[in-house]
């Protein structure tokens, strides 16, 4: 039986890693120089967080897999990331909508993980929270600027937020792994994060003159259990190419 702590760490690590890879695809392609740099910096923050989680996961597993083995030598069905973060970049509106939904949830999650009974997890969360606080503030500000901007920017960000809404529910769904972590005080009850997340998202939507999608809309799920969209396979093919083509390659 897989250690629930190992499984939980993979969910944290893979979600950060996959989103980092998505944002890295935009390096040199941002809509403005400042935004190009900001997206790249967020990607670097996330990959740094992923390294901490993967290193700890490898130690918990005890099978000799380090952060590189876990990142580059697992297939798509072994990844445990949220479906939201593997969605394509699309337009800048799509990229920002994905980031906004994730950042709001990520901040709330890390804020609770700081009090984890697992000191290692609490330490990584405390360090990461400083970065994610900026991520959440930045993406929220940009949602307001686009929503309350031109007719075109308003339309594009509203459509992007509507399209990605169905991937947000998975962030608050609990299975046996997360229930075990909550019971041990390692992680929070994810369902308890939904109300503050919705409150914050609703506040930003109102300021941005945007319409919140239906709260009871049908939601996608499965990423945390290894059931992914077709997009993840293509992402991993690019991300893992060097290690797969030249196993053990080193600088």
Mean pLDDT of the chain: 96
In a domain, 31, yes or no: yes
What percent of the chain shows pLDDT beyond 90? 92
In a domain, 162, yes or no: yes
What percent of the chain shows pLDDT beyond 70? 99
Query: Which residues form the domain of 130?
Result: 4-245
| CA 251/CA 246 separation, integer angstroms | 12
| pLDDT band per the 50, 70, 90 thresholds, residue 68 | very high
| pLDDT band per the 50, 70, 90 thresholds, residue 228 | very high
Q: pLDDT tens for residues 169-183?
A: 999 999 999 999 999
In a domain, 148, yes or no: yes
Q: Which residue has the higher pLDDT, 27 or 94?
A: 94
In a domain, 250, yes or no: no
pLDDT at 250 over 80: no
* Predicted structure pTM score: 0.96
In a domain, 107, yes or no: yes
Q: What pLDDT sits at residue 1?
A: 63
Mean pLDDT of 160-168: 98
Q: Are 155 and 137 a contacting pair, CB within 8 Å?
A: no
Mean pLDDT of 127-147: 97
In a domain, 251, yes or no: no
> In the structure, how many helices (H) and strands (E) does the chain have?
10, 0
| CA 23/CA 104 separation, integer angstroms | 17
Q: What pLDDT sits at residue 195?
A: 98
Q: Report the number of distinct structural domains present in the chain.
A: 1
Assign residue 11 the CATH number of its domain.
1.20.1260.10
- Name the residue among 58, 16, 1, 6 with its Cα closest to residue 181: 6
| CA 3/CA 138 separation, integer angstroms | 36
């Amino acid at each position: 039986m897989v250690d629930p702590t190992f499984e939980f760490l993979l969910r944290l690590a893979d979600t950060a890693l996959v989103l980092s890879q998505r944002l890295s695809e935009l390096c040199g392609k941002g809509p403005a120089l400042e935004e190009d740099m900001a997206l790249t910096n967020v990607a670097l923050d996330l990959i740094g967080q992923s390294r901490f989680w993967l290193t700890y996961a490898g130690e918990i597993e005890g099978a000799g897999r380090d952060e590189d083995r876990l990142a580059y030598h697992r297939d798509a069905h072994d990844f445990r990331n949220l479906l939201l973060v593997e969605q394509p970049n699309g337009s800048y509106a799509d990229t920002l909508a994905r980031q906004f939904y994730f950042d709001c949830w990520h901040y709330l999650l890390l804020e609770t993980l700081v009090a984890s009974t697992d000191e290692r997890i609490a330490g990584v969360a405390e360090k990461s929270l400083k970065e994610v606080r900026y991520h959440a503030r930045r993406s929220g500000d940009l949602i307001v600027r686009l929503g309350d901007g031109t007719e075109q920017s308003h339309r594009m960000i509203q459509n992007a937020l509507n399209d990605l809404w169905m991937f947000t529910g998975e962030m608050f769904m609990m299975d046996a792994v997360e229930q075990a972590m909550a019971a041990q005080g390692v992680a929070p009850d994810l369902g308890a994060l939904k109300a503050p997340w919705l409150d914050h998202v609703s506040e930003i939507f109102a300021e941005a003159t945007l319409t919140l999608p239906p709260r009871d809309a049908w939601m996608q799920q499965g990423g945390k259990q290894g059931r992914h969209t077709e997009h993840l396979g293509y992402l991993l093919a690019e991300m893992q190419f060097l290690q797969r083509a030249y196993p053990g390659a080193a600088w």
